[in-house]
């Protein structure tokens, strides 16, 4: 259907046809539809109003900002949500097209004559409307304006957003200000990070605001945020702790901040949340600090699979000589749990030295971890060691040896596996049969 036909349907069609036309016009991207879609915002049907908001967001036309701001007061929650999303989308679409003057030097509410000559009037009108909306009595209007101005990178509204962050009576509006200040910081406003740090100390019991403040600071990676992250990594809200760990990882690569970042992340490796521990392991790798190696190895003991995997990935990114030395020490530690962790990690990062001795460890769990690690590394000289250990007195080790041989993918192990097929333990029998099947089909690797 042509543009003209769709515009006619938007005026004269039944409700369903008008909704379909509005949706299609949004996808077409022709701004000639802006006026008609704006008229639909006054329609009695809430679904049409919502679809019209969405379509206007797709068009990215700044002329739609004032009517969309007014839709933030719509009685229907779905319509308000679509209006907010549309404003945000327009802000994103226009953010790279506005000159630096409107972002930094000029008062956005009273632009200079020079600025008015290089910016489309619709853009200036939209910005002024949004600035005025920051003082609106309706919190949803203030929220939508803050998010959009932040995404536009309008640095001239920094004072208003700063006040909103600490003084707005509405918690969601304060959160919007934190998000917007983060956007301003991404646009180059150096005032944003210090203001967000100040805002952190006014968060109180507002966990949603805490999330957005720490997220914005983590995205900015500003040095002054280090004390915030050190405190936030112990926050009651798991999301805050996750974001703080990410922020610490981003700062920890800098020499003067590294010791404090590594210390805080080492504590976070003992967090009650698996996700915080997993993220902290990755963050420690980002610090590139040799002091992170031992805590990472120790963190594997008794850990969940996803954390063990994250530690393995982290160690693979750190200095190989330091990691090798630390794993060797761990493999000789009196603590069997630490020896098991070392064997597991050696298999994850391909560090083979000492695994042969570990396969003879007095602890069955260490021998099991060594057998699986050998299979992962796949060195040819490991095959006879694993074949001999198919006779280990502990069935969990025999199972691991069969699996290790399967992972190696060497059909030369088939005779030894076939001899072990009559093992008295049913679990071992199953593992051996699986290995024989895999190697008979050309190997498992």
Per-residue confidence (pLDDT) for residue 94, from 0 to 100: 75
In terms of phi and psi (left: phi > 0; alpha: psi -120 to 50; beta: otherwise), the region of 246 is alpha
Domain ranges of the chain: 221-318
Burial 363-390 (b: 16+ CB within 10 A, else e): ebbbbbbbbbbbbbbbeeebbebbbebb
Nearest to 74 by CA among 47, 35, 92: 47
With 80 as the cut, is the pLDDT of residue 4 above it?
A: yes
For residue 31, how many other CB atoms are within 10 A of its CB?
15
Question: What is the reported pLDDT for 113?
Answer: 42
| Average pLDDT of the residues in 135-156 | 92
Task: Say what the pLDDT of residue 106 is.
Answer: 55
Mean per-residue pLDDT for 110-114? 50
Q: Please, what is the angle between helix 171-186 and helix 158-167, to 10°?
A: 140
- What percent of the chain shows pLDDT beyond 70? 93
Tens of pLDDT, residue by residue over 147-175, are 999 988 888 899 999 999 999 999 999 99
Q: What is the pLDDT of residues 384-433, one digit of tens each?
A: 999 999 999 999 999 999 999 999 999 999 999 999 999 999 999 999 99
Asked if the model's pLDDT at residue 53 lies above 70, the reply is yes
Cα 311 to Cα 314: distance, rounded to the nearest angstrom: 5
For the chain, the average pLDDT equals 91
Give the pair of three-digit tokens for residue 5. Answer: 């036909």
Report d(CA 371, CA 364) in Å as an integer: 11
Q: Provide the strand spans (E) within 211-335.
A: none
What is the pLDDT at residue 156? 87
Mean pLDDT of 61-84: 92
Kindly tell me the burial class for residue 40, based on how many C-beta atoms sit within 10 Å of its own C-beta (0-12, 13-18, 19 or more): buried
C-alpha dihedral, 85 to 86 to 88 to 89, nearest 10°: 110
Give 111's pLDDT tier (boundaries 50, 70, 90): low
Residue 77: how many CA atoms within 13 Å on its side-chain side?
A: 0
What is the Cα–Cα distance from 311 to 318, expressed in whole angstroms? 11
Tell me which of 443 and 394 has the higher pLDDT.
Answer: 394
- Report DSSP letters for 315-343, one per residue: HHHS-HHHHHHHHHHHHT-S-HHHHHHHH
Question: 302 CB contacts (<8 Å, ≥6 apart)?
Answer: 337
As assigned by CATH, the class of the 221-318 domain is: mainly alpha
Contact (Cβ atoms closer than 8 angstroms) between residue 274 and residue 238: no
The per-residue pLDDT for 107 is: 60
- Give the separation between CA 89 and CA 59, rounded to whole angstroms: 9
């Amino acid at each position: 259907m042509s543009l003209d036909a769709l515009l006619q349907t938007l005026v004269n069609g039944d409700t369903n046809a008008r909704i379909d036309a509005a949706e299609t016009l949004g996808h077409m991207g022709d701004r000639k539809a802006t006026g008609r879609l704006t008229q639909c915002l006054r329609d009695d049907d809430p679904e049409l109003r919502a679809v019209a908001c969405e379509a206007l967001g797709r068009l990215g036309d700044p002329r739609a900002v004032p009517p969309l701001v007014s839709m933030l007061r719509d009685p229907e929650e779905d319509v308000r949500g679509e209006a907010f999303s549309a404003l945000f989308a327009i802000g994103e679409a226009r953010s790279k097209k506005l000159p630096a003057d409107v972002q930094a030097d000029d008062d956005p509410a009273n632009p200079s004559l020079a600025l008015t000559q290089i910016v489309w009037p619709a853009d200036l009108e939209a910005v002024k409307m949004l600035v005025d909306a920051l003082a609106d009595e309706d919190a949803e209007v203030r929220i939508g304006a803050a998010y959009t101005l932040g995404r536009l990178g309008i640095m001239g509204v920094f004072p208003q957003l700063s006040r909103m962050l600490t003084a707005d009576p509405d918690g969601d509006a304060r959160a919007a200000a934190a998000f917007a200040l983060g956007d301003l910081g991404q646009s180059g406003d150096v005032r944003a990070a210090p203001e967000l740090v100040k805002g952190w100390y006014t968060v109180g019991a507002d966990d949603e605001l805490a999330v957005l403040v720490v997220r914005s600071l983590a995205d900015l990676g500003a040095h002054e945020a280090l004390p915030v992250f050190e405190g936030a990594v112990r926050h009651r809200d798991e999301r805050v702790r996750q974001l703080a760990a990410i922020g610490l990882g981003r700062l920890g690569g800098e020499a003067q901040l590294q010791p404090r970042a590594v210390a805080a992340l080492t504590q976070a490796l003992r967090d009650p949340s698996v996700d915080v521990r997993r993220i902290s392991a990755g963050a420690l790798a980002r610090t590139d600090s040799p002091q992170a190696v031992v805590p990472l190895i120790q963190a594997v003991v008794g850990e969940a699979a996803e954390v063990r995997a994250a530690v393995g990935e982290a160690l693979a990114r750190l200095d190989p000589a330091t990691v090798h030395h630390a794993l060797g020490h761990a493999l000789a530690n009196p603590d069997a749990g630490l020896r098991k962790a070392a064997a597991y990690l050696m298999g994850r990062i391909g560090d083979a030295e000492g695994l042969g001795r570990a396969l003879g460890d007095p602890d069955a769990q260490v021998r099991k971890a060594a057998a699986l690690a050998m299979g992962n590394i796949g060195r040819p000289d490991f095959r006879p060691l694993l074949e001999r250990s198919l006779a280990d007195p502990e069935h969990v080790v025999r199972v691991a040896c069969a699996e290790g041989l399967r992972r190696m993918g060497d059909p030369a192990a088939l005779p030894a596996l076939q001899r072990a097929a009559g093992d008295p333990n049913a679990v071992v029998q199953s593992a051996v049969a699986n290995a024989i099947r895999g190697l008979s089909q050309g190997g498992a690797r």
